[in-house]
């Protein structure tokens, strides 16, 4: 049923591509051994809650007779589930697991739970056979089994999962998910520990925020799967917008790209395409308004007041728009990471406070805040009453009258966004908030001011100006010195700041003795003036769900297939509470090394739904990393504040082809 490879070396049908296996998996005899050179610190809470998993060490594979020989013969019954948002390559994890399991022993059986963890709780599953696997090889999304965000967070749910697994006689369960799902995997591994059911996690998420190092900085999991494919899909769209913008020369394209918290996707997309501006949340969080801070010396300081504000951010964007307009470019591309608001000090404070208010309400009333107050007005009313009551009673509460006043100053749609229901894991749902609309609302308002005061204006190309003036029989140089503020030899001429209307234009011409008091401005000069008045037009785009459904890149196809294979060998090695990984992904495929990362040491305490929970720590963009530094060093050029075309970049090519080569994500190559 599989298509034949075309002579050209490309594949007619993606399903017929067979990803290569890591070298060690090609051997007849495979050994697993603990790698004691890899070290972790374990959080005391992880030691308390996951006692049996804390002794796990990093596991590597070899074919050099080191460690324990892996028995591939005993038949296995393995369950597999997708958890959380889809990510390209998930089907290949199952394909790798399936192929290696069936190759080791045709009696091995793989069962796929449907619609995410709920499928385990409810015992809703299918047996995965070769027809099913073949249909989805190298295909995007999670459509084979579907997915869901149910959290297995109560003893009752764990009991139900155990019951299902026992009834199905499973000896292992593979959970393909992000940080929260791998946290779930660890807790399940602990509770199944004495039941003989192993649990293995697989690092998935387009957000790229599962990047794991040991305490000595050794990279164990360079990136979660799906990141590269989603980033590439966004990059291709953004590249197309760059071309359209440079052709149509009238729109600013505001591109919000997914990444619930971390800005890895924005960073990769930026490096791939060189947009005019890419915001990186982590960098904004680091920002300190030094002048404000200095002015406040000797005063009582509220440190939260010196961080990045939405107002300051909007001014920075306006500055770019104004400078590009001066070069005749009233268009451009701005990339905004989805999780940006999390890094803006003033907004983060609201998010944390509202999380606490909502979870307090749920606890005290044993009811759901959102069901009790379904409408925005009702929610706001509750907050107002709470703040007033606290003020009257002289109590210190998390939501004060000051918070209430500040909150009421923001637009309703944004208030609604901030008050929206958190997801099952207690995460703020950034994808549901129109971050771009909030920021661009401020930008549009400020641009109007800049336009009115003569700062925001379009540069006029000198040659075009000369031609128009010649046609009108006017002296270009004399008029230029009356109308423009910069040197006549510049490629783009900029209208003087005080000329903001036809009236002020006429006055400038009279003052320069170019026309008399009772003459009108020459028509050609008026037309040129009109050309300098910019219209700010923007188009907003959200790149996210499309990238999650994209077909995996060659890199992700190969990576995920080997994550599936690794999961199988971790199961055969008797592991539980481990996450499959492949090291050295930035290097040539022949150097890829599969392994198993113990999950318990990756945990830390984090605020969720108003209380501290033990979860896997997300990895954020490291501002000292070479990838970020590369972006920083190049971004002045990307602004395009020069005459002529912007220097954009075509995203890396990607194709599944017979030589099985691939190009890794840029952030991996740069950071290696």
Q: How far apart are CA 591 and CA 605, in angstroms?
A: 35
Q: How far apart are CA 373 and CA 64, in angstroms?
A: 64
Which residues ranging from 512 to 551 are in contact with ligand FBP (CB under 6 A)?
Answer: 544, 548
Measured between its terminal Cα atoms, the distance across the chain in Å is 40
Catalytic: which of 99, 179, 180, 207?
207
Instruction: Decide: is 205 part of the binding site for ligand FBP (CB under 6 A).
Output: yes
DSSP class of residue 112 equals: E
- What is the dihedral angle through the alpha carbons of 115, 120, 122, 128, rounded to the nearest 10 degrees? 70
Packing angle of the helix pair 227-248, 264-273 (nearest 10 deg): 50
State which of residues 95, 97, 254, 258 lies at the interface with ligand FBP (CB under 6 A).
258
295-334 mask for ligand FBP (x: CB under 6 A)?
----------------------------------------
H-helix or E-strand containing 616?
strand 611-616
Residues near 602 by beta carbon (within 8 Å), at least 6 away in sequence: 40, 182, 212, 579, 616, 617
Q: What are the residues facing 603 on neighbouring strands?
A: 616
Nearer to ligand FBP, 207 or 282 (CB): 207
Cβ-based neighbour number of residue 15 at 10 Å: 19
Is 207 marked active-site? yes
Instruction: Decide: is 207 part of the binding site for ligand FBP (CB under 6 A).
Output: yes
Instruction: Decide: is 178 part of the binding site for ligand FBP (CB under 6 A).
Output: yes
How many Å is the maximal CA-CA distance in the chain?
A: 102
Q: Name the minimum Å distance from CB 261 to ligand FBP.
A: 8
Nearer to ligand FBP, 89 or 640 (CB): 89
Q: Name the minimum Å distance from CB 429 to ligand FBP.
A: 7
Q: Which stretch binds ligand FBP (CB under 6 A): 79-87, 358-366, 368-376, 498-506?
A: 79-87
Q: Name the minimum Å distance from CB 556 to ligand FBP.
A: 14
Nearer to ligand FBP, 282 or 338 (CB): 338
Q: Name the minimum Å distance from CB 93 to ligand FBP.
A: 13
Nearer to ligand FBP, 338 or 646 (CB): 338
Report the residue number whose CB is nearest to ligand FBP.
Answer: 84
Nearer to ligand FBP, 142 or 373 (CB): 142
Question: Binding residues for ligand FBP, how many (CB under 6 A)?
Answer: 15
DSSP class of residue 300 equals: -
Q: Name the minimum Å distance from CB 265 to ligand FBP.
A: 8
Residue with tokens 């790229």: 208
- Residue 614: closest CA among 35, 217, 190: 190
Q: Which stretch binds ligand FBP (CB under 6 A): 205-213, 234-242, 284-292, 602-610?
A: 205-213
Walk across the sheet containing 198-203 and list its strands: 68-69, 31-34, 59-62, 593-598, 578-583, 198-203, 172-177, 77-82, 109-113, 125-127
417-446 mask for ligand FBP (x: CB under 6 A)?
-------------xx---------------
Instruction: Decide: is 260 part of the binding site for ligand FBP (CB under 6 A).
Output: yes
Q: How far apart are CA 623 and CA 416, in angstroms?
A: 32
DSSP class of residue 379 equals: H
Residue with tokens 């809470």: 45
> CB–CB of 307/345 below 8 Å?
yes
Instruction: Decide: is 259 part of the binding site for ligand FBP (CB under 6 A).
Output: yes
State which of residues 152, 170, 206, 262 lies at the interface with ligand FBP (CB under 6 A).
206
Q: Name the minimum Å distance from CB 376 to ligand FBP.
A: 20
Instruction: Decide: is 264 part of the binding site for ligand FBP (CB under 6 A).
Output: no
The residues of the shown chain that bind ligand FBP, judged by CB under 6 A, are 84-85, 87, 178, 205-207, 258-260, 338, 430-431, 544, 548
Which residues belong to the active site?
A: 207
């Amino acid at each position: 049923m599989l298509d034949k490879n075309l002579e050209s070396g490309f594949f007619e049908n993606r399903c017929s591509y067979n990803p290569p296996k890591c070298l060690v998996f090609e051997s007849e005899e495979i050994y697993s051994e603990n790698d004691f050179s890899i070290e972790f610190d374990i959080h005391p809470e992880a030691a308390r809650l996951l006692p049996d998993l804390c002794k796990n060490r990093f596991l590597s594979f070899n074919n050099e007779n080191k460690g324990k020989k892996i028995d591939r013969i005993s038949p296995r019954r393995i369950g597999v589930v997708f958890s959380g948002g889809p990510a390209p390559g998930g089907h290949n994890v199952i394909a790798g697991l399936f192929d290696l399991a069936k190759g080791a022993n045709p009696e091995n059986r793989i069962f796929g739970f449907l619609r995410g963890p709920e499928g385990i709780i409810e015992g809703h599953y299918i047996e995965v056979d070769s027809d099913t696997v073949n249909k989805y090889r190298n295909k995007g999304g999670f459509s084979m089994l579907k997915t869901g965000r149910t959290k297995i967070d109560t003893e009752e749910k764990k009991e139900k999962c155990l019951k299902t697994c026992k009834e199905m006689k499973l000896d292992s369960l593979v959970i393909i998910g992000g940080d929260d799902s791998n946290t779930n995997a660890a807790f399940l591994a602990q509770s199944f520990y004495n039941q003989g059911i192993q649990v293995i996690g697989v690092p998935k998420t387009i957000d790229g925020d599962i990047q794991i190092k040991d305490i000595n900085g050794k990279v164990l999991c360079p990136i979660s799967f799906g990141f590269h494919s989603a980033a590439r899909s966004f990059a291709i769209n953004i590249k197309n917008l760059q071309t359209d913008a440079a052709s149509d020369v009238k729109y600013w394209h505001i591109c919000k790209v997914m990444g619930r918290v971390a800005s890895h996707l924005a960073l990769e997309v930026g490096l791939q395409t060189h947009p005019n501006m890419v915001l990186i949340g982590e960098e904004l969080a680091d920002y300190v308004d030094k002048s404000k801070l200095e002015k406040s010396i000797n005063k009582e300081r509220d440190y939260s007041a010196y961080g990045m504000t939405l107002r300051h951010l909007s001014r920075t964007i306006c500055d770019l728009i104004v400078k590009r307009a001066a070069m005749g470019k009233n268009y451009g591309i701005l990339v905004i990471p989805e999780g940006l608001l999390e890094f803006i000090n003033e907004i983060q404070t609201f998010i944390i406070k509202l999380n606490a208010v909502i979870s307090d309400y749920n606890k005290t009333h044993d009811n759901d805040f959102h069901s009790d107050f379904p409408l925005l007005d009702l929610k706001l009313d509750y907050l107002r009453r709470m703040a007033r009551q606290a003020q009257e009673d002289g109590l210190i509460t998390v939501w004060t009258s000051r918070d209430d006043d500040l909150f009421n100053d923001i637009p309703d749609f944004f208030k609604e966004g901030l008050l929206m229901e958190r997801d099952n894991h207690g995460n703020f749902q950034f994808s549901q908030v129109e971050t771009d609309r909030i920021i661009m609302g401020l930008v549009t308002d400020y641009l109007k001011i800049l336009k009115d005061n003569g700062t925001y204006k379009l540069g006029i190309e000198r040659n075009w100006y000369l031609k128009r003036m010649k046609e009108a029989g006017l002296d270009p140089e004399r008029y230029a010195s009356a109308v423009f503020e910069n040197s006549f030899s510049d490629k783009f001429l900029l209208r003087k700041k005080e000329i903001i209307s036809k009236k002020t234009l006429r006055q400038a011409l009279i003052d320069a003795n170019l026309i008399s008091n009772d003459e009108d401005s020459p028509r050609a000069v008026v037309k040129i003036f009109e050309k300098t008045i910019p219209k700010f037009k923007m188009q907003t785009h959200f790149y996210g769900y499309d990238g999650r459904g994209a077909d995996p890149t060659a890199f992700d196809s190969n990576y995920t297939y080997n994550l599936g294979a690794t999961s199988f060998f971790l199961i055969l090695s008797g592991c539980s509470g481990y996450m499959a990984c492949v090291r050295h992904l930035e290097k040539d495929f022949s150097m890829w090394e599969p392994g198993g990362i113990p999950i318990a040491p990756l945990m830390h305490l984090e605020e969720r739904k108003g209380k501290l929970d033990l979860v896997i720590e997300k990895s954020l963009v490291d501002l000292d990393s070479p990838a970020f530094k590369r972006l920083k060093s190049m971004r002045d050029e990307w602004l395009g504040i020069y005459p002529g075309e912007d220097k954009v970049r075509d995203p890396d090519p990607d194709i599944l082809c017979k030589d099985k080569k691939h190009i890794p994500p840029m952030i991996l190559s740069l950071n290696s």
